Amino acid sequence: MAELTPQRVRLAARLRALRTAAFPSGSQFARHTGWVQSKVSKLETGAQRPSEDDVREWVRATGHGADVEAEVLAMAAAARFEYSTVRDTVCRGGGLAAWQAQLIGLESAATHIIEHQPAVLPGLVQTAAYARELLALHGGPMTAGASQDDVEMLVAERIRRQEILYQRGKQIQFVIGEAALHDPPGAIETLVEQLDRLVAVAGLASVDLAVLRMGTRMPVLPLSSFVAHDKRVVFVETMTGEQRLDEPDEVAVYVKAFELLREATVTGPDAVALIQRIAASLR
């Protein structure tokens, strides 16, 4: 499981404090509420985020009233918007490399991954040189206090993440904006090498690569980059951090957006031919 956000940690601690003041053990509380003990444990450790009904039942079962219910519901609402900053990640134990290692675990557990990147190439297909130049730009990890050594460890872990592309039983779909194929983060030679790598990756059985051509009528509102795992959790990237969404209604919006975007793309041999033409023009 990825490291918990501060909002979820505070919520779990508050639930645990309410329960321990009324029931000596989680199993006693579970019997009182009619829940399975594992649910109580997950809510108290933050492994599971409570629904509004869960909060109301928890507060009622621990003998509290409307004021505490309102307080905990507000905490649950805050935990719903889970946002981790790059600066916090840099300062946390293990830093950026540990964050990439967590991604390896999340991606390994997923069967179907979809990713939309409008302006850069996805981390799962980046060469080391491309990643290094991209991460050196303003808004990258060094802007948040990371050292050059931190970035090098991040690049190494990012390359290690790419082993998932060769695993059987995975379906990994990318929708990439054409601008990402033209705009180098550094040297032209690095981008050309990266485009060659992209062509190779497009031939893998696990990969479905699509390119949204410039000038295509946008089928959805303008979007930032995002990744979804198994249509159950979405990670939305910003310049300074990442938001995690797992509410089914919200996840469904992103999944539908990806489907609409992909319908407007070029795919398969046409996508590969486009990439090759752009690489040839850059050479």
Residues 131 and 14 both lie in one domain: no
- Counting the structural domains of the chain, the total is 2
**Single-letter code of the amino acid located at 228:** A
Task: Please check whether residue 128 lies inside any domain of the structure.
Answer: yes
Residues 117 and 218 both lie in one domain: yes
Question: Would you tell me the crossing angle of helices 26-33 and 37-45 to the nearest 10 degrees?
Answer: 120
Residues 163 and 88 both lie in one domain: yes
Residues 53 and 115 both lie in one domain: no
* Sign (positive or negative) of CA dihedral 174, 177, 182, 184: negative
Other Cβ atoms less than 10 A from the Cβ of 272: the count is 18
Task: Please check whether residue 1 lies inside any domain of the structure.
Answer: no
Q: For residue 189, what pLDDT band results from cuts at 50, 70 and 90?
A: very high
Task: Please check whether residue 225 lies inside any domain of the structure.
Answer: yes
- Per residue in 225-273, pLDDT (tens digit) is 999 999 999 999 888 888 888 888 999 999 999 999 999 999 999 999 9
* C-beta separation of 257 from 223 below 8 A: yes
Residues 115 and 187 both lie in one domain: yes
- Per residue in 145-188, pLDDT (tens digit) is 888 998 999 999 999 999 999 999 999 999 999 999 999 999 99
Q: Which of 100, 98, 99 is nearest to 126 (CA)?
A: 100
- Per residue in 78-118, pLDDT (tens digit) is 887 777 778 877 776 677 777 788 788 889 989 999 999 99
**Average pLDDT over the chain, rounded to an integer:** 91
Q: DSSP character for 196?
A: H
Residues 93 and 71 both lie in one domain: no
Residues 136 and 157 both lie in one domain: yes
Beta bridge partners of 172: 113, 207
Look up the CATH number of the domain holding residue 15: 1.10.260.40
Report whether pLDDT(200) > 60.
yes
* C-beta separation of 8 from 82 below 8 A: yes
The residue count for the chain = 283
* C-beta separation of 8 from 79 below 8 A: yes
Put the strands of the sheet holding 226-229 in their side by side order. Answer: 82-85, 241-245, 233-237, 226-229, 112-117, 171-177, 207-212, 266-267
Residues 66 and 102 both lie in one domain: no
Domain that holds residue 118: 84-282
